[in-house]
A and B are shown apart, each in its own frame.
Chain A
């Protein structure tokens, strides 16, 4: 025998090269049963993919809702006039030609003087009629409001400027067009400096403001089909509106005149601090209840909606998360089941390895590595599938999906953790075998 060796000088337990060899060995063992390994990993693939895609879909849905609410302004309270139903007392008794309803200047002054934290209010009132540029007309709205409207409503002035406080005080006949109105009324020429006519009044265009995002979104869903008076707004100082169109609005509808008297169509109140929003909303509710016999107004509190949306999102995420977690758990049980079968099947191999010097921890390590490879590979594949599903959902269902960077990381980590968790028991069962009996196993 000329072979000599140098055991002892080269003992480097659990070093990196050893890990590498264990991984290679694990892959070899799993490769011997390709189909079985693949099917076992499939459980984890689905689990991880469902965690990622469910989180992405849930996140996307709540993002959409929150975005819409945030457009309204989280520190705003929005009041709108609503035409009361026909069976109201006022309508029956008076049989008056003029229907009077909605928010009043009195409401506003009371709100501004009594509700704490109300910083600023944006009243608005509108008149619906045709808007004319020479012989070109659009069914639109004269929208009377205040100079701080763009700031409060987060609307950008695209070109020119918004009207000023001085112009409001002077009741100047100036107007700002929404971009869709400007496109329809002035398809070819530059609108700024031109005049727009409504009924018998003329208004000079000073600027273009972007469309209401909520209406713009609704329009795009309808693919812009049909001319809609909604969004076709000519914004003028509220004082100018009162001067030119009076308080009573006449409408000619299906052969009969209808007259309405509405002082204000919409009021937006901004509250100074976010924590004051909910108490202020309650105070405003009280004032309106006192001033109005009929419910001819509607109050929207974006913050309240936002909080509700947040809670819904949480519940949604918990439900989706638990479904995904259950599928991961099922995947883990599948892995454990297969590993237990593998351990039994490889009893003899375990016996051989023990006889040739493998310690218990070597056996534990070997089987644990195999389980981790299985679940880790499943996890990686699952991340791939999980990233693809939200894309498909976005594409075919036209839903917003958001993949947060931590979701795939978390899902993959969980899959490896499941490998460890469900691999421990089979690995220890393998290591605890009596070498003598393991060697005798057929």
Chain B
């Protein structure tokens, strides 16, 4: 991408890597010199200090790092829940770093799928209704939503529990509902935040198998974790340290 190079001469990308990436098409996610600052009393805390990243369609990435390294901030920015203080974030080629709140909500609803550590299902809704929440906010009719949500529930193995409330499900089952929900809007990227953190190894393993399958089907997944074991599972690993990317398989590997 010679034009981006010239527009951002301070970009730290190495030419050798750029050439290998060129074959993979346009990136889904592109961070350019992203910084995030927080004002804590009189101190300015820099949670991210200039992050450059390209994520390509079909990528399966784990972001690793100790607590306080900026993982959460990174996730919030990638998930459009927060916006960078400095730098640019392009999602599907659209600059979202300075979008107004309403537009940002639309972007989250259309292009992103979230999977959280504590499942974050809405307690008063059934399995099916939980899966349909992202569709509801895009104004899809109940009938159309049903056509999407039922196959998804079946895919994650909850076809017989469509009308159950989250409290009636095990942790693993709840997380599978969350996965179905994250897939309902057919997102460009799925973001998983410590998705297996609250699960026993058996249920956690099941969840990871679903992730593997999703990636095999062509989905782009980014997992944030402090579990070193994940590094062996995903083809691409990012290590964050003090708000910077210290290691990227694409660059260093």
A11, A28, A353, A360: the one contacting B138 at CB < 8 Å is: A11
Q: Once the chains bind, are B124 and A3 in contact (CB under 8 Å)?
A: no
Contact A1/B137 with A7-B185, A349-B122, A436-B76 known, Cβ cut-off 8 Å: no
- Closest chain-A Cβ to B220's Cβ sits at a distance in Å of 12
Interface residues of B (CB under 8 A from A): 76, 79, 81-82, 101-102, 105-106, 108-110, 114, 116, 120-125, 133-142, 144, 148, 151-152, 155, 181, 183-186, 214, 217-219
Subset of 30 A-B contacts with CB under 8 Å: A1-B218, A1-B219, A3-B152, A3-B155, A4-B186, A5-B140, A5-B148, A7-B138, A7-B140, A7-B185, A7-B186, A11-B138, A11-B140, A12-B139, A13-B139, A349-B122, A353-B137, A354-B108, A355-B79, A355-B81, A355-B108, A356-B134, A357-B137, A358-B105, A359-B101, A360-B101, A362-B137, A436-B81, A439-B81, A439-B120
Q: Once the chains bind, are B144 and A348 in contact (CB under 8 Å)?
A: no
Which B residue's beta carbon lies closest to that of A440?
B72
Stretch at the interface among A15-23, A122-130, A325-333: A15-23
Decide yes or no whether A109 CB sits under 8 A from chain B: no
Contact A435/B152 with A10-B139, A356-B181, A357-B106 known, Cβ cut-off 8 Å: no
Q: Which chain A residues lie closer than 8 Å to B185 at the CB level?
A: 5, 7, 357
Decide yes or no whether A135 CB sits under 8 A from chain B: no
Q: Once the chains bind, are A28 and B124 in contact (CB under 8 Å)?
A: yes
Q: Once the chains bind, are A353 and B148 in contact (CB under 8 Å)?
A: no
Contact A356/B186 with A3-B148, A17-B142 known, Cβ cut-off 8 Å: no
Q: Which chain B residues lie closer than 8 Å to A13 at the CB level?
A: 139
> Chain A: how many interface residues by the 8 Å CB criterion?
37
- Closest chain-B Cβ to A120's Cβ sits at a distance in Å of 76
Question: CA A31 – CA B106 in complex, angstroms?
Answer: 30
Which A residue's beta carbon lies closest to that of B148?
A5
Query: Ordered nearest first, which 9 A-B pairs have the shortest CB separation?
Result: A357-B109, A357-B137, A359-B105, A1-B217, A11-B139, A356-B134, A352-B120, A435-B81, A359-B102
Q: Once the chains bind, are B137 and A10 in contact (CB under 8 Å)?
A: no
Question: CA A152 – CA B148 in complex, angstroms?
Answer: 82
Q: Which chain B residues lie closer than 8 Å to A3 at the CB level?
A: 148, 151-152, 155, 183, 186
Q: Once the chains bind, are B137 and A356 in contact (CB under 8 Å)?
A: yes
- Closest chain-B Cβ to A352's Cβ sits at a distance in Å of 5
B76, B109, B151, B219: the one contacting A2 at CB < 8 Å is: B151
Question: CA A359 – CA B124 in complex, angstroms?
Answer: 20
Interface residues of A (CB under 8 A from B): 1-7, 10-13, 15, 17-18, 21, 25, 28-29, 31-32, 348-349, 351-362, 435-436, 439
Question: CA A31 – CA B125 in complex, angstroms?
Answer: 12
Question: CA A17 – CA B143 in complex, angstroms?
Answer: 11
Q: Once the chains bind, are B110 and A357 in contact (CB under 8 Å)?
A: yes
Contact A356/B144 with A2-B151, A12-B139 known, Cβ cut-off 8 Å: no
Could you list 10 further interchain pairs (A-B, Cβ under 8 angstroms) beyond the known A1-B218, A10-B144, A356-B133? A1-B183, A1-B214, A5-B185, A25-B125, A349-B122, A357-B110, A358-B137, A359-B105, A359-B137, A439-B116
Question: CA A100 – CA B183 in complex, angstroms?
Answer: 107
Q: Once the chains bind, are B139 and A353 in contact (CB under 8 Å)?
A: no
Q: Which chain B residues lie closer than 8 Å to A354 at the CB level?
A: 81, 105, 108
Contact A355/B114 with A21-B142, A348-B120 known, Cβ cut-off 8 Å: yes
- Closest chain-A Cβ to B153's Cβ sits at a distance in Å of 11
- Closest chain-A Cβ to B100's Cβ sits at a distance in Å of 10
- Closest chain-B Cβ to A431's Cβ sits at a distance in Å of 10
Q: Once the chains bind, are A357 and B125 in contact (CB under 8 Å)?
A: no
Question: CA A5 – CA B185 in complex, angstroms?
Answer: 7
Q: Once the chains bind, are B181 and A17 in contact (CB under 8 Å)?
A: no
Q: Which chain A residues lie closer than 8 Å to B106 at the CB level?
A: 357, 359
Question: CA A21 – CA B144 in complex, angstroms?
Answer: 14
Q: Which chain B residues lie closer than 8 Å to A348 at the CB level?
A: 120
**Interface core residue of A1, A5, A348, A357 (most chain B CB under 10 Å):** A357
Question: CA A6 – CA B125 in complex, angstroms?
Answer: 24
Q: Which chain B residues lie closer than 8 Å to A355 at the CB level?
A: 79, 81, 108, 114, 120
Q: Which chain B residues lie closer than 8 Å to A21 at the CB level?
A: 136, 142
Question: CA A11 – CA B109 in complex, angstroms?
Answer: 13
Question: CA A4 – CA B148 in complex, angstroms?
Answer: 8
Q: Which chain B residues lie closer than 8 Å to A361 at the CB level?
A: 102
Q: Which chain B residues lie closer than 8 Å to A5 at the CB level?
A: 135, 140, 144, 148, 184-186
Q: Once the chains bind, are A353 and B218 in contact (CB under 8 Å)?
A: no
Q: Once the chains bind, are B101 and A357 in contact (CB under 8 Å)?
A: no
Q: Which chain B residues lie closer than 8 Å to A352 at the CB level?
A: 120-122, 133
Which B residue's beta carbon lies closest to that of A431?
B101
Q: Which chain B residues lie closer than 8 Å to A360 at the CB level?
A: 101-102, 105
**Interface core residue of A5, A349, A354, A435 (most chain B CB under 10 Å):** A5
Q: Which chain B residues lie closer than 8 Å to A17 at the CB level?
A: 141-142
Question: CA A355 – CA B187 in complex, angstroms?
Answer: 13
- Closest chain-B Cβ to A64's Cβ sits at a distance in Å of 52
Q: Which chain B residues lie closer than 8 Å to A436 at the CB level?
A: 76, 81-82
Question: CA A29 – CA B121 in complex, angstroms?
Answer: 14
Contact A32/B139 with A357-B108, A359-B102, A359-B105 known, Cβ cut-off 8 Å: no
Q: Which chain A residues lie closer than 8 Å to B219 at the CB level?
A: 1
Question: CA A346 – CA B151 in complex, angstroms?
Answer: 29
- Closest chain-A Cβ to B98's Cβ sits at a distance in Å of 17
- Closest chain-B Cβ to A195's Cβ sits at a distance in Å of 88
Q: Which chain A residues lie closer than 8 Å to B114 at the CB level?
A: 355-356
- Closest chain-B Cβ to A437's Cβ sits at a distance in Å of 10
Q: Which chain B residues lie closer than 8 Å to A25 at the CB level?
A: 125
Which A residue's beta carbon lies closest to that of B122?
A349
Which B residue's beta carbon lies closest to that of A3?
B151
Q: Once the chains bind, are A32 and B151 in contact (CB under 8 Å)?
A: no
Contact A32/B136 with A1-B214, A357-B108 known, Cβ cut-off 8 Å: no
